[in-house]
Structure 1
Amino acid sequence: MTSQTIEGAAAPARLLVIQNDPTDPVGLLGTWWDEHGIGYDVVRADLGEPVPRELPAGYHGVVLLGGEMAAWEDERAPWLPDERALILSSVESSAPLLGVCLGGQLMTLAAGGVVDRAPVAEVGIYEIDLLPEAQGDPLFSVLPQGIPVAQYHQDAMLEVPEGAVVLASTPTCPVQAYRLGRSAWAIQFHPEVDAEILASWFPDDPEPVEKAGASVEKVMQDVVDREQEMLDGWRPFAVAFAEVVRASAGSPRP
């Protein structure tokens, strides 16, 4: 497990981050949480580090990152049952949770929703349509309509768990994000990636690229062209999640 903490930070709020794939680290989200005084530890499940089935003491939220495997491919990733158990226990205890792409799909399966191959794969920079329900959401209310974000998936959350509130969509993927309960969010997209991380996925996992009919050159140019817009838009999202975690920890801002 690797750790990251702001030196001298006053707040004890801390996240447990589950990394499912060597090419999908916490990335920009970690940078923004560092800036906001939120510490985090990364469990490298992809390297065999054990995933706890319940949130250990001393942590105040969970983040589940993406990965090449499908959410149901336990034979490829034998830690996934433990990750789904961690999700359920976190949702039941109302611990803040953010599931990113595969992480969101795992949350969907764990809570009784449906995940399967997407009718249309999404690869590249897509603009997110915020639904009316996003206006009152702690995270999505800080986002501008049509904010661009990186997508890289051939699976999708087709049916959300009972009681979930869908917050965002695209024309090709109706469930881009939802909230379950007060403080658990599943998102289909990747606010954590920069150009370097995204570029590493094309040779590592080419199948979604082929299914989406995407051009690597066009995707990377879009990343360059809209990089600042994405940084400016998604930093407040990361900060908003940090504030939910801080409130859960009962700790003041640094």
Structure 2
Amino acid sequence: MRLLVVVPSDTDPPARLGEWLTAAGLELDERHLDAGDPVPADLSAHDGLLVLGGPQSSLDDTAAELGPVRELLARATADDVPTLAICLGAQLLAQAAGGSTRVRPDGPEVGATLVARRDAAETDPVFTGLPLSPDVIAWHHDEVERLPQGAVVLAANPVCDVQAFRLGSAVYGLQFHVETTPAMTASWAEHDPVGVAATGLDAAEVSAQAEAVHPDLEQVWSPFAGRFAELVRSRAATR
């Protein structure tokens, strides 16, 4: 069971999410855009797709490396291939499937926060079993403005109406992060003064709050990763 992992920036590697998916039996084929790794045109050699985040903006037409990622996400959506797209990845997914993104009008959402499950999550094969308001890490300056036709919202919060959504039966976008380590969020805080300023805290406080929720992230999102791996396993069994 091979999972293609697209890493738009080495500031956001698969990290703990990669460990959980590997523990669930998936083989990760990582493609790092910073290193110039090619992005396949399709998923014929893979059973699923993971697209991570990065400091690039989904609205930046000069970020040429993101074009092939959008094309791959469009193909994955059309074929209903098990897909998990995180933060920037979720925004690219929305664009690829016919939706749109924008700069957040109220400024960046940054740091440890909560999201709330929507009713549709109760019967979703991956989101079922999550707490009503799980901890997550938010770190985005842009957001989904308009969802693609047929998208189902699975999580939201008062700051962001679309925190998670599903297309088809197996394609997921998460605006938030679950893959992080405390070292990653500390580095993000150090290198994103605009995002940190939006919180009203300093970088050390944002980092400390993020570090404090990481044990809860593992407790909630490691089983979530296992359920996503089961989707990938089910597709592999039918090929």
Match of 1:173 among 142, 145, 160: 160
**What is the distance in 2 between the residues matched to 1:204 and 1:41?**
28
**What is the distance in 2 between the residues matched to 1:214 and 1:20?**
28
Is residue 22 of structure 1 aligned with residue 10 of structure 2? yes
Is residue 113 of structure 1 aligned with residue 108 of structure 2? no
Aligned partner of 2:91: which letter?
Q
SS of the residue corresponding to residue 60 of structure 2 reads: coil
Could you list the structure 1 runs, at least 4 aligned residues long, displaced by more than 3 angstroms after superposition: 211-214
Do the aligned partners of residues 35 and 209 (structure 1) sit closer, same or farther apart at CA in structure 2, a change above 3 Å counting? same
| Structure 2 equivalent of residue 188 of structure 1 | 175
Q: Identity of aligned pairs, percent? A: 38
Q: Relative to structure 2, which stretch is displaced further, 202-211 or 145-154?
A: 202-211
What is the TM-score with the length of structure 2 in the denominator? 0.95
Q: How does 1:24-173 map to 2 (within 5 A)?
A: 24-57=12-45, 59-75=46-62, 77-120=63-106, 121-173=108-160
CA RMSD of aligned residues (A): 1.4
SS of the residue corresponding to residue 167 of structure 1 reads: strand
What is the TM-score with the length of structure 1 in the denominator? 0.89
SS of the residue corresponding to residue 6 of structure 2 reads: strand
**What is the distance in 2 between the residues matched to 1:50 and 1:224?**
33
Do the aligned partners of residues 213 and 117 (structure 1) sit closer, same or farther apart at CA in structure 2, a change above 3 Å counting? farther
Q: Unaligned 5+ residue runs, structure 1?
A: 1-12
| Structure 2 equivalent of residue 6 of structure 1 | none
**What is the distance in 2 between the residues matched to 1:74 and 1:41?**
27
Q: Are the equivalent residues in 1 in contact too, given 2:17–2:179 (CA < 8 A)?
A: yes
| Structure 2 equivalent of residue 3 of structure 1 | none
**What is the distance in 2 between the residues matched to 1:147 and 1:141?**
12
Structure 1 residue 98: Cα displacement: 0.7
Q: Are the equivalent residues in 1 in contact too, given 2:189–2:206 (CA < 8 A)?
A: no
Q: How does 1:215-254 map to 2 (within 5 A)?
A: 215-250=202-237
**What is the distance in 1 between the residues matched to 2:171 and 2:131?**
21
Structure 1 residue 215: Cα displacement: 2.7
Structure 1 residue 228: Cα displacement: 1.7
Structure 1 residue 218: Cα displacement: 2.3
Aligned partner of 1:21: which letter?
S
Q: Are the equivalent residues in 1 in contact too, given 2:110–2:196 (CA < 8 A)?
A: yes
Q: How many residues align?
A: 237
Q: Unaligned 5+ residue runs, structure 2?
A: none
